[in-house]
Structure 1
Amino acid sequence: MAMRTRLLMMTLLASALAACTLPSFTSPTPFTFPTPNLTHTAIFAATSTKTTPTLPPPETTAAETTITATGPAVTPAVTATGPTSTPLATATTGALNSRPNGSPVTAAFLSAPPVIDGDLSEWSTTAYVANETVPLAGDNWTGASDLSATYYIGWDVNYLYLAVSRTDDTFVQISWGRYMYRGDDIEIQLDTGLAGDYYTTYLSSDDYQIGLSPGNFGSIDSEAYRWYPRNLEAWVTSVVIEAVLTNGGYDLEAKIPWSVFGVTPASGSRFGFALSLSDNDLVGVSTWQSMVSNVNTRRTAAPTTWGTLILD
């Protein structure tokens, strides 16, 4: 009996060992923890290097943009000579010696200076007229009797001389200084570097605008004011002005030192030039209503729209 029991136990043990090697039976795979997904863990993981972003180039503002004028080659300028060390004017030659706007104005050389007293009877040089409206300034102009002028111009080594007989049906001037244009003033513009910036359509440091006012023949004195160049804007006390009220406007004489324009004159010198008249017909009101000029293309800030002045 004991022997039979022992044999049975051995048979069962052999069967169990054989079952472990059968093809249909596989051993369990050991469990392994998964590797972390770096797409998710990158926000926690420390980076080995730091990258600095590349900044875009700085923007250029309109004020910083340089405008380059184009045009044919500029004929070398002839330097005018004079007796002082004042910076010299440019006497231009060749194709760039005259603006195409209006007719050139010639300033006569005066061997004897005129008396600045508002009496124009001593002027016998060429008479020019300013009776053309300028862009955006003619809506309130009714004709030559409303606003126009005959003028004379001369020069010597010290001064530019101006004599203006203004026709104006209503004289108004209650403004002064930089606001004199809100009344019945006279304005001249001079481009002292005509050839050098012939194609430049904006104002530069050699472009001048000066206003001459007779005052109001009472409480406001006659005066001269320089608007441009902007860095030189101020009253110009070295300008001598005398004016006389007439039945149909006023007569005015002025002598302007060449130093006001920073030039020394010479015969043959040429400049960009315009003579204009502002008008206000509203008595007791400071306002600007219209303008006439010797050049109908004239715009304040565009020297290419001015005319030409020649020193005889």
Structure 2
Amino acid sequence: MAAWVKWFGMAGLMLALGLAGLAQDTPEAIAWQVTEPVTIDGSLEEWNKSTPVTISKASQAVLGGYLWGGSYDLSATIYLMWDADNLYIGAEIQDDVPFTARPGFKPDEADSIGIYLSTNPGADPTREAYEPTDFRILLMTDGYDFYTAIDRDMLQDPMGIETGGMYGDEQVIEGYEAAVVETRRGCVFEAKIPFAALANDLIPKFTPEPGVKVGFDLELNDIDMPCPGVGAKSMAWTGSSAIRTSPAEWGVLVFQAAE
């Protein structure tokens, strides 16, 4: 009996250590609080750049990886900030053929940034299916119309916030602002996403507070020729292509107080 008790005790300890290891392995991104609304003009001079999120490795290519030519072809250093009403994203993007899009192209098959965001801090981080408070948001970085999309096709019940913009040429995020400035190696992209655009009578508006953590991921999408049939590639901050269907592969976004 004593041997069995000892075995179960060791097994429980190993399981606990394993779960702790998994928690430690989950990458965290930081969004810094701002005390005044951010001016969306394509300049990141007012941004806190102390904790960048980097997408630049071959291992981060999750779709069309054979098309990736290196960091000069597609990579980004991304920063995040927040206030009570908005999530702000600033990105320094390297792209050898920036601003590539075509009318009718799906946003994830053109130059765009994907944001995966939960608005429920209490959600199970190991969940393998999307909940109504999980969002896939796509922001076109083509420098022209700044179209947006919200993908909810993975939900059986989207609770009133339906898929929109996934066939291109739409602006589906109310209150959204974006700007882009071309650089020698690509562009600087800056955007504001109101949390109210991810809420309705059934899904409560998310209001961050310092220390709150939610599920989160980032995706870069790229195409080099605006022609039908030309392959697109996608890179992700963490996880595989399964981030589009399983939040278990996401990382974590930590809302940090202003410095």
**TM-score, normalization: structure 1?**
0.62
Q: Does 1:106 align with 2:30?
A: yes
Correspondence list, 1:210-289, <5 A: 210-215=137-142, 217=143, 220-228=144-152, 231-234=161-164, 235-262=172-199, 263-285=206-228, 287-289=230-232
How far off is 1:179 after superposition? 0.9
Query: Do the aligned partners of residues 181 and 122 (structure 1) sit closer, same or farther apart at CA in structure 2, a change above 3 Å counting?
Result: same
Task: Note if contact 2:76-2:93 (Cα within 8 Å) is conserved in structure 1.
Answer: yes
Structure 1 CA distance for aligned equivalents of residues 56 and 253 of structure 2? 17
Aligned match of 2:250: 306
From 45, 53, 56, the equivalent of 1:131 is 56
Shift, 1:147, TM fit: 0.5
Amino acid corresponding to residue 232 of structure 1 in structure 2: E
* Paired residues of 2:99 and 2:141 also in contact (CA < 8 A): no
- How far apart, in 2, do the equivalents of 1:309 and 1:221 lie? 28
The answer to whether structure 1 residue 209 and structure 2 residue 136 are counterparts is yes
How many residue pairs get aligned? The number is 214
Structure 2 unaligned runs (5+)? 1-18, 165-171, 200-205
Amino acid at match of 1:257: P
- 1:182 CA displacement: 1.4
Query: Any stretches of 5+ residues in structure 1 without a counterpart?
Result: 1-94
Give, in whole Å, the separation in 2 of the partners of 1:99 and 1:261.
27
Structure 2 distance, partners of 1:176, 1:277, is 19
Contact 2:140 2:148 in 1 (8 A): yes
2:234 matches 1:291: yes
Distance 1:167 1:175 in 2: 20
Among 120, 125, 130, the residue aligned to 1:198: 125
CA gap of 1:199–1:296, structure 2 versus 1, over 3 A, is: closer
Q: How far is 1:140 from its partner?
A: 1.1
Deviations 1:159-209 (A, max 9, x none): 111101110011253246781221111110012235433332122211101
Q: Tell me which moved more, 235-244 or 150-159.
A: 235-244
Q: Which region of structure 1 is more displaced relative to structure 2, 234-243 or 294-303?
A: 294-303
- Contact 1:104–1:307 under 8 Å retained in 2: yes
Contact 1:167 1:248 in 2 (8 A): yes
TM-score, normalized by length of structure 2? Answer: 0.74
1:161 to 68, 74, 88: 88
Distance 1:258 1:178 in 2: 26
1:177/1:197 Cα in 2 relative to 1: closer, same or farther (>3 Å)?
Answer: farther
Percent identity for Structure 1 against Structure 2 = 26
For the structure 1 residues 260 and 239, does the alpha-carbon distance in structure 2 shift closer, same or farther, using more than 3 Å as the test? same
Aligned 1:39-188 pairs, distance under 5 A: 103-126=27-50, 127-132=52-57, 133-175=60-102, 179-188=106-115
Query: What CA RMSD, in Å, does the superposition of the two structures yield over aligned residues?
Result: 2.5
Structure 2 vs 1, CA of residues 117 and 136 (structure 1 numbering), >3 Å: closer, same or farther?
A: closer
**Displacement of 1:280 after TM fit?**
0.7
Deviation (angstroms), 1:247: 2.2
Residues 1:191 and 1:100: Cα distance change in structure 2 (over 3 Å): farther
Which region of structure 1 is more displaced relative to structure 2, 99-108 or 249-258?
99-108
Instruction: Report the Cα distance in structure 1 between the residues aligned to 2:104 and 2:176, rounded to whole angstroms.
Output: 14
Deviation at 1:211, TM superposition (A): 0.7
Give the greater-gyration-radius structure (CA).
1
The Cα of 1:289 is off from its aligned counterpart by 2.0
For residue 27 of structure 2, what is the amino acid of its counterpart? Answer: S
Q: Which string of whole-angstrom CA distances, capped at 9 and with x for unpartnered residues, describes residues 78-124 of structure 1?
A: xxxxxxxxxxxxxxxxx89x966552011111112221001122223
Closer, same or farther: CA 160–306 of 1 in aligned 2, 3 Å: same
**Equivalent position SS for 1:238:** coil
Native 8 Å contact 2:62 2:234 kept in 1? no
Output the amino acid matched with 1:237.
E
